[in-house]
Structure 1
């Protein structure tokens, strides 16, 4: 197992290749994406314990989605139960990853309290915000601080479920490798982020807005239909970038050519 360093243009391809993967089995891919989200929402409903349990289950369900994407990619026929296949692979490490991610996220929110007195924390908890408090400079600084601090947390989590599930790594080691894999591939991830903004938000918004001026009813239909394609495509793109960076255990790698730094070559 080695984290490959990919060129910038691969980030542009992840979303389009995710769309191609969705088109190969739209029913299963759509079920995996919305089944993942619905399961977490249902678990989160329970008072007090719902949110923590949902956080612990996130890596387990994420692995199930990745297993489903892998099955589609390899042309294997699987059923909807593959969403819960993560419960059969290194569950202790997956739950530990969820726990570490939860604690780190709570620490980030706690640190933002020093900037805005807890306004952002209240907003994240579903509380009603005071419009005047939102306009305060402290709230803006808290948002920027939250983004800056949560980025390395997300980097450590990004590949961790598949590293724990497919390569059987313990939670700390999986998150360590995930962080440095993201850091090493910041260029394609930057291109990926731009592609998500353009094709996942800006362009669909423009299209729906223009259609709404001509045919409002059609715009309403598109508002419901577009997420049915975009959300599964987004989940499929997670698998594509994981396949590119780490490959598939025991299989021929489909990713772009490995880019090696001069420093790595000397090593």
Structure 2
């Protein structure tokens, strides 16, 4: 397995391919993303360990969405069980994925603990339990600092876990090594990932603008309130449809000779 060094324009290619994959099977990908969210929500309801369990499942279920995109790319229809492909593997293959999930959960909980030191746990409680952001929270300077601090602390976690689930599942890389390889792969291709992120932000803003225009034309604020959540979920489903392509292009079995090697 070798790391690919990619030009910046690859970020735009990932977005295009993600959108193309989603619209080839929109109902399947939207349905799988809904199942992804529903599975995490159900896991969170488990007494005592629900929040931890939901976080542990994130890497495994993310692999499921990537596997679904992979099937669409191959001209197949992704079935519902595709979402659980990493959890349905035999025990020797499943254990590293669950260990990776545990590492992810610990990392996120440490970020939440750090934010609690800033605002007394308001942001952490909102993140874990959900709910709306009240005007009081928005005007609370400690809450804003906790939110931005959590975002900055989560960024290296996101980079380290970006490719890690796929490396563990498809290449049998150990969890700790997968985090290192993922970190290196993203940092080596920073320009491509920056363009990729900027374009997904543009897609999100574009969808929001369309919603605002429809609201202005209809003259009813109910249109915006009713369409905001479905629009956000649709964009999220499109985004997850592109994750497979970022992994596929970042690593190769037989890359050019000048590509850096990543020993498994």
TM-score range, shorter-chain basis? 0.7 to 0.9
Of 99-108 and 120-129, more deviation after overlay is shown by 120-129
Q: In the alignment, which residue of structure 2 is the partner of 1:178?
A: 182
Of 233-242 and 218-227, more deviation after overlay is shown by 218-227
Change in CA separation of 1:243 and 1:127 when aligned onto 2, cut-off 3 Å: closer
Matching residue within 237, 240, 260 for 2:242? 237
- Confirm or deny that 1:98 pairs with 2:101: yes
- Confirm or deny that 1:57 pairs with 2:61: no
- Confirm or deny that 1:150 pairs with 2:154: yes
Of 152-161 and 221-230, more deviation after overlay is shown by 221-230
Matching residue within 196, 202, 206 for 2:200? 196
Deviation at 1:156, TM superposition (A): 1.0
Deviation at 1:163, TM superposition (A): 0.3
Change in CA separation of 1:25 and 1:147 when aligned onto 2, cut-off 3 Å: same
Deviation at 1:105, TM superposition (A): 1.1
Q: Say which SS state the counterpart of residue 117 (structure 2) adopts.
A: helix
Contact 2:60 2:87 in 1 (8 A): yes
Question: Aligned partners of 2:236, 2:134: CA distance in 1, in Å?
Answer: 32
Q: In the alignment, which residue of structure 1 is the partner of 2:8?
A: 8
Q: In the alignment, which residue of structure 2 is the partner of 1:70?
A: 70
Task: Mark the runs of 5 or more structure 2 residues left unpaired by the alignment.
Answer: none
Question: Aligned partners of 2:115, 2:29: CA distance in 1, in Å?
Answer: 37
Q: In the alignment, which residue of structure 1 is the partner of 2:171?
A: 167
Q: Deviations over 1:197-247 (max 9, x none)?
A: 1112x1111111111121257946755664564232111111111112124
The number of aligned residues is 254
Question: Aligned partners of 2:117, 2:84: CA distance in 1, in Å?
Answer: 40
Q: Deviations over 1:15-41 (max 9, x none)?
A: 221111112222322222221111111
Matching residue within 209, 213, 217 for 2:216? 213
Question: Aligned partners of 2:94, 2:234: CA distance in 1, in Å?
Answer: 30
Of 166-175 and 8-17, more deviation after overlay is shown by 8-17
Contact 2:99 2:175 in 1 (8 A): yes
Q: Deviations over 1:99-158 (max 9, x none)?
A: 111111111222233333333223323388886665454433322321221111111111
Task: Mark the runs of 5 or more structure 1 residues left unpaired by the alignment.
Answer: none
RMSD, aligned α-carbons: 2.9
Contact 2:25 2:77 in 1 (8 A): no
Change in CA separation of 1:209 and 1:42 when aligned onto 2, cut-off 3 Å: same
Q: Say which SS state the counterpart of residue 94 (structure 1) adopts.
A: helix
Of 161-170 and 79-88, more deviation after overlay is shown by 79-88
TM norm structure 1: 0.83
TM norm structure 2: 0.84
Q: In the alignment, which residue of structure 2 is the partner of 1:43?
A: 43
